[in-house]
Structure formats: structure tokens, C-alpha cells
Structure 1
């Protein structure tokens, strides 16, 4: 059975590299065409950024494959031999923590390059070394405290129940729901500065919009995202009583009131259409399948890796192989997600106007340097949102009949 997992990882690696190669070739050809959606200068810049990102992703994929060979070949067994404690839960904590920390350290060069070289080159990253270290230390503390507690709990479940994977799924699923509830609070207390909107007129308009669709939140906040990044974004964070509307300060600065309301109208479309609950349900089904697979692993796998069939080993194998399963399930999940995005666009445009939503999407694409064209295979595997060209077409704007400047003149400034 180990051979099946190894073949699966090799296929995963092959498809990752192949889709990246196809994407790079496609974007290289597309950037020679007449610009659409983006302004002329940003069209070329976005294409170059997309290509460079994909090259980094390919290098990272090759590196990850080397790490996979290392862990499967002798890394897991070597780490196992270094930890001599007889306590199964303590061994699980030490083993898994070290496994994650080693992978993080070995992958750090790619993170540093993307943050301090690539993103700064294209005007995105405002990250400083001091802030990076500060964020890393805070994340590390959270991981060591809460991550270790989760590892200890799941190792106890594995060791205590015959059908541990059922109870393990219930526990982890509950933890994920709890994290989603607490996410805005954690971000507020440890990483970002959340403030009530200074623009009270905008706040009143947003509150009125929320009331129209029956969305109850704990408030509307602006977050100082620009201290790290210049991209524009907004989200509804939390669940239940912790729900809140969060606007990046960059978004508030760049978009007009009507455009902001159109973006929030799209997000409210997800709420009204029940997409949040649907996504939670899909995540639960996928996770249950994962737990069922890793809860019934053959003894041959552990023998082949020269490790014991114990909680620490099961958790490590889950971390190594679950990305493969996620990758091959991603096309189906992305297909559902793209369908939901079209429906949210329709709801948002009806709640505000198509003109405002198109204008907002144009600004988001230009400010975020989102190249509008991608290879169909790349879209099939990676796009959780429809391509911008298709979104505009559904909103009544055929970008192939208009240059980026024409769109800008007719919609952008209205």
C-alpha cells in the first residue's frame, strides 16, 4: 500500500509541474495580446508577476519532492530513533512538532524570497524584517501551545478507540469550527489592529446593507493590512456572535462607497445562498474521507517506513499525504466554488448595481495585478473563483470587445 501512496505523490508532483509549465507558456503568449481588463502597463506587469510566481511555485514543488523522498526514505525513521520517551502522547507532540518545524525551516527560503524579493519588486509587500520576525514568533507560540494540545488530544483518541478515526474526525472538525469562530479575535489581539470605521457615512451604509439581508454582525471594522501588504481585500470573519465585517484599509482607500457596497453585496450573496454552510459541509465530507483512509492504513506501510503504527506516525503520514488527496479533489471543489461565485455576483449586482460591481472588480484586478487570462487546465485545478473575463461576461460586459482603457473610461470612473 505504501507504493500506492508514493505513486500518488509522484502523480501529484507531475501534475503540479505540468500545470505550471502550461500556465507559464499560456501567460507568455497572452501578454503579447491586446490588454483586457487591466490598464496597459499593469497588464504586462501582472503577466510577469504571474510567471515569476509560477516559477517560484515550480522550484518549491521540486524542493518539496526532495523533502518527500527524504522523509519517506529515512527521515521519519531517523527522527523516530531520536525520541526515546515511552509516553505515546508526549512522543506524538515532540515528533510532530519537530516534523513541522523542520519542514518550516527548510521551506523558509521560499517564503522569504516571495515576501522580501518578489512581492516587494511588484509593489505588494510592506513587510519589514522586524515585523516578519514578530509575526513568526507569535505564530510559533500559538502553534506550540494550541497545536501541541491538539496533537496530544488526537494521539489520545488514536490510542483509546478502535474506530479512532470517527472520533478523531469529530474532534478535529470541532476544532476547525472553533478556530473559525475565534479567528477575528485572535487576529485582533495578536496580529492586526482592528478599528471602527472612521467614515461614519460608509459605516451607516454598510449597516443598512447588512440589515437588508438579515446579516447580524458584531460590527464593521477596518484593519491595518497595509503594514504588511498593499493588496485590496475584505472578508466576513468569525461565526455566531464573533461575526464581523472586516475591510482592509487599502480597500477603503481605493474604492468608492458604491464600489465597497457592491463588494460586500457579493459577500452577502454567499451568506444568503448558504455557501458558508455548504463549504463547511463539503469540508466535513472531505475530512471524513481523509480520516477514514488514514484510520485504516495497512501495517505494511509502517513496516516499509521502519516506524511503529502509533499516533505520532499516523499524524505524520496524514500531514505528508493529505495534500495529494486534496489536490485531486480540488477540481470538483473548485467547480462548486466557481458556481457559487457566479450566484454571489448576481446577488451582489442586484443588491447594488452591475456597474458598481464591475467597477469594483476592475479596481481590484488593477490594484492586485491579477492577470485576467489563464490556461484552462490551470483554471480547472486551481481557480476557486471564475476567471475575471467570464465574471464580466456574466455581468453583461464582453471584455473581448473592449480594450482595458475603453472599459476604464466607460465604467471605471462612473
Structure 2
């Protein structure tokens, strides 16, 4: 049975990868509809011939790597189960200490190390192509440093989560999913509170915006929107990327509006003010808190489904997967597979909600600034800097895009511009 599961898994992954290669490189059509050709949304009007070719090449590679990476994790964890490595990790942990927390830490350390070794090649391929296409400016040493920081941050959180999770499963086989969700609420809020001041600075240097004249303009815009903002932060990203970005992070007193220095270097003040107005919309319309609420709701459903699926899988395939019971830590790879699958399946819904919020933020920004031209030029520059497809394939949009496509965003602003020009 174990050999059959492994064979079907490998075959399924191969066919899945073959489908997405065919879809992205031979089937999907990214040409603009006829009615938008020659408009400000047409990349041929603001990208040169080489940039058009590079955009298509890089986007296809990046999208293929995205669709391959998540199922690759499923295959890795399935292999850990079928080969008996999960049992070996548990054995080594129990031989090393009699304390449960230490045993959990050792098990998670082995699992995390094997996962890091298995997934690093795909991560490196993604890094290599971003360097080749001049998106990334990061040195290999700096990239490796970030990968190691990721490893240790994820390891620390995972040890705590796994230890508590299996305590709950052992206490209540039927209700652990509910108790785990109840703990998810304060834990998630705590992480969001810490993110801007503890976790993010591990990767990059943050500082108050150095351009005080620009900061005054941004704060004036915030005052106009009734936002109690005192500072705007910039982050040193030019040593890592040529891409542009700005975002809102954190909650409560730790919430921050952040601009990448690449954005400051490549956009004029009007473009930056448009981006800031967009980010302010997330605060005004409470998108962060709506997002937290949606995440907690999905977490409740996801944990319940995980409980049901784990019980079914261990009952039917426990022998093949070498899992004697759900409450045995050897079931952790199965738990991670199910959680990852549910996140992947639910991503079209979460992306749909996110795109709606981002569209609302675009509308708010243009109403606040009354400058659609700055917005159009900003989106054109974002497209150029990130080699992003203006009109991506449908499956890419559904599974990857938490923002509207550049076609949608630019056309919306052009329609606003025409409408208000006519009103005048």
C-alpha cells in the first residue's frame, strides 16, 4: 500500500506539473482584449520591446515555480511518512531526552532540517531567475542569510505550536481543533503586534522617512483622511530588489505605513502620495481587522476539516503511512499536508476578497488625491519594475493575485479620468 501511495503521488505530481507547464507556456493567452490595445493599460505603450519579452518570460517562469512549489511540499511530507523518517525522528527525540518539550523540539528540528534541505533548491531557482531578470539585486550571502533567518523564526514558532497542538490532541481527541482555534486568536493577534517591531527588522533596516518634505505631504494627506498618523517608515530594500512596494503592517500602537526605498527612488511625489492614499484606505476601511476576522473564520473551518480528514486518513491508511494514532507526533507531516492543501484550495476565495479590498483602496486613493494620472503612471512603473504581466492567465489570477490585475487597475483609473474630464 505504501509503495502504491508513493507511486500515485509521484505520478500525480508529474501530471500536475506537466499540465501547468502546458497551460502557462502553450495555452494561456495574455494578449490584451482588442478594446484595450493602444490604451494606457497596453504594455506596448510604456514598455520597450525587450521589456515586453522579458516580462512574458519571467512571469511564466515565476508562475510555474509557484504552482510547483506548494505540491512539492506535500510530496516531501508524504515521503517523510512513507519512508518511516517521521518514526525515526520520534525515536531519536525520545532517546535524547525524557522531557516532552525537549522531545518535541528535537523532532521538529529534524523535520525542519530535512524540509529546509528539500525545498532550498526550488527557493534557489526562484532566486536565480529573479537575479537573471534583474528583479533581485541581492547577493547570494544575503539571500542565504534571509533563508536561515526564516528557518530559525519558523522553527521557534513551530516548536511552540506543535507542543501545544499535541497536548490538546492528547487531552481531547474530539475537541482539540476547537481548543486549538481558541488559542489561535490571541496568538495571531500577538504575532501581528510583534511583526513590525521584532520580526521584520530581522530582515531589513527600518527608519522614519528621511525626506521630511515628503513626509509632511503624506501626513497632511493622512490628516485629510482623519488618520492619526505621526510617522511614515522607509525600509532599505535597494540592496535586495528593484521591485517597488508599500504596505501597512501591524495592529494597534504598532501599526506602520512602510515604503520601500526603491519606491522612493523611482516614483515622484505624486506617485508616492497616490500609493500612500491607497494604504490609508486600508486603515480607513478597517481592512486589516476584516482580514483578521476572515483569517480566524477560515482557521476555524480549516482546523475542523483537518480533524475530520486526519481521523479518516489514519483509520484507513495509518499502517501505510506508519502513523499508529492521530495523537502520536508521527502524524505531524500528515497535519502539515492537510493544512497546506486547505490553504491552497481556499486561496481563490481569500484572493477574491483581497482583490475587492484592493480595488476599494484604489478608488479611495483616486478620490482622495484627485490625481488619476499619478495612479496610472505609478501602476505602469510597478509593472516595469516587477516585470509583471498586465493581463495574467485566469488560473494565475485566481490562485496568485491578491491585487487586481494591472489591466483592471489602470483601466479603472482611465475611466475615472475620462468621466471627470467630461464632468468638467
TM superposition score category, shorter chain reference:
0.7 to 0.9
Q: 1:192 to 1:102 in 2, by over 3 A?
A: same
Give the counterpart of 2:251 among 227, 231, 239: 239
Residue 94 of structure 2 aligns to a residue whose secondary structure is coil
Per-residue deviation at 1:81?
A: 4.3
Per-residue deviation at 1:15?
A: 5.8
Residue 225 of structure 1 aligns to a residue whose secondary structure is coil
Which deviates more, 62-71 or 240-249?
A: 62-71
Query: Are residues 1:178 and 2:178 paired?
Result: no
Residue 238 of structure 2 aligns to a residue whose secondary structure is helix
Per-residue deviation at 1:273?
A: 2.2
Give the counterpart of 1:135 among 146, 154, 165: 146
Query: Are residues 1:336 and 2:353 paired?
Result: yes
* Matching residue of 2:25: 24
* Matching residue of 2:129: 118
* Matching residue of 2:393: 375
* Matching residue of 2:79: 70
Which deviates more, 21-30 or 165-174?
A: 21-30
Per-residue deviation at 1:253?
A: 0.7
Q: 1:294 to 1:218 in 2, by over 3 A?
A: farther
Q: 1:23 to 1:136 in 2, by over 3 A?
A: closer
Written as runs of structure 1 = structure 2, the 5 A alignment for 1:173-252 is 173-187=185-199, 189-217=201-229, 219-252=231-264
Q: Does the CA contact (< 8 Å) of 2:215 and 2:231 recur in 1? A: no
Q: Does the CA contact (< 8 Å) of 1:262 and 1:348 recur in 2? A: yes
- Cα-to-partner distance string for 1:4-55 (whole Å, 9 max, x where unaligned): 9x99998798667534532222567749x97823412322111111122234
Q: Does the CA contact (< 8 Å) of 2:108 and 2:155 recur in 1? A: no
Which deviates more, 172-181 or 33-42?
A: 33-42
Residue 184 of structure 1 aligns to a residue whose secondary structure is helix
* Matching residue of 2:89: 79
Per-residue deviation at 1:97?
A: 3.0
Q: Does the CA contact (< 8 Å) of 2:376 and 2:414 recur in 1? A: no
Q: Does the CA contact (< 8 Å) of 1:259 and 1:356 recur in 2? A: yes
* Matching residue of 1:294: 306
Residue 67 of structure 1 aligns to a residue whose secondary structure is helix
Which deviates more, 305-314 or 12-21?
A: 12-21
Q: Does the CA contact (< 8 Å) of 2:24 and 2:64 recur in 1? A: no
Written as runs of structure 1 = structure 2, the 5 A alignment for 1:41-52 is 41-52=50-61
CA distance in 1 between counterparts of 2:245 and 2:131 reads: 18
Q: 1:215 to 1:24 in 2, by over 3 A?
A: farther
Residue 135 of structure 2 aligns to a residue whose secondary structure is coil
Q: 1:63 to 1:237 in 2, by over 3 A?
A: closer
- Cα-to-partner distance string for 1:320-343 (whole Å, 9 max, x where unaligned): 221211222222222222222221
* Matching residue of 1:386: 404
Which structure has more RCO (C-alpha within 8 Å, separation ≥ 6)? 1
Residue 195 of structure 1 aligns to a residue whose secondary structure is strand
Per-residue deviation at 1:146?
A: 4.0
Written as runs of structure 1 = structure 2, the 5 A alignment for 1:263-282 is 263-282=275-294
Query: Are residues 1:308 and 2:328 paired?
Result: no
Q: Does the CA contact (< 8 Å) of 2:78 and 2:333 recur in 1? A: no
Q: 1:226 to 1:311 in 2, by over 3 A?
A: farther
Q: Does the CA contact (< 8 Å) of 1:192 and 1:225 recur in 2? A: yes
CA-atom RMSD in angstroms: 3.2
Q: List gaps (5 residues or longer) in structure 1.
A: 399-414
CA distance in 1 between counterparts of 2:47 and 2:246 reads: 23
Q: Does the CA contact (< 8 Å) of 1:349 and 1:357 recur in 2? A: yes
* Matching residue of 1:96: 108
Per-residue deviation at 1:77?
A: 3.7
Q: Does the CA contact (< 8 Å) of 2:82 and 2:322 recur in 1? A: no
Q: Does the CA contact (< 8 Å) of 1:262 and 1:357 recur in 2? A: yes
* Matching residue of 1:53: 62
Per-residue deviation at 1:96?
A: 2.8
Q: Does the CA contact (< 8 Å) of 1:47 and 1:371 recur in 2? A: yes
Query: Are residues 1:351 and 2:360 paired?
Result: no
* Matching residue of 2:163: 152
Residue 380 of structure 1 aligns to a residue whose secondary structure is helix
* Matching residue of 1:39: 47
* Matching residue of 2:413: 395
CA distance in 2 between counterparts of 1:69 and 1:285 reads: 28
Which deviates more, 139-148 or 8-17?
A: 8-17
Per-residue deviation at 1:61?
A: 6.0
- Cα-to-partner distance string for 1:189-229 (whole Å, 9 max, x where unaligned): 42211122221111011112222223334621111011211
CA distance in 2 between counterparts of 1:67 and 1:188 reads: 28
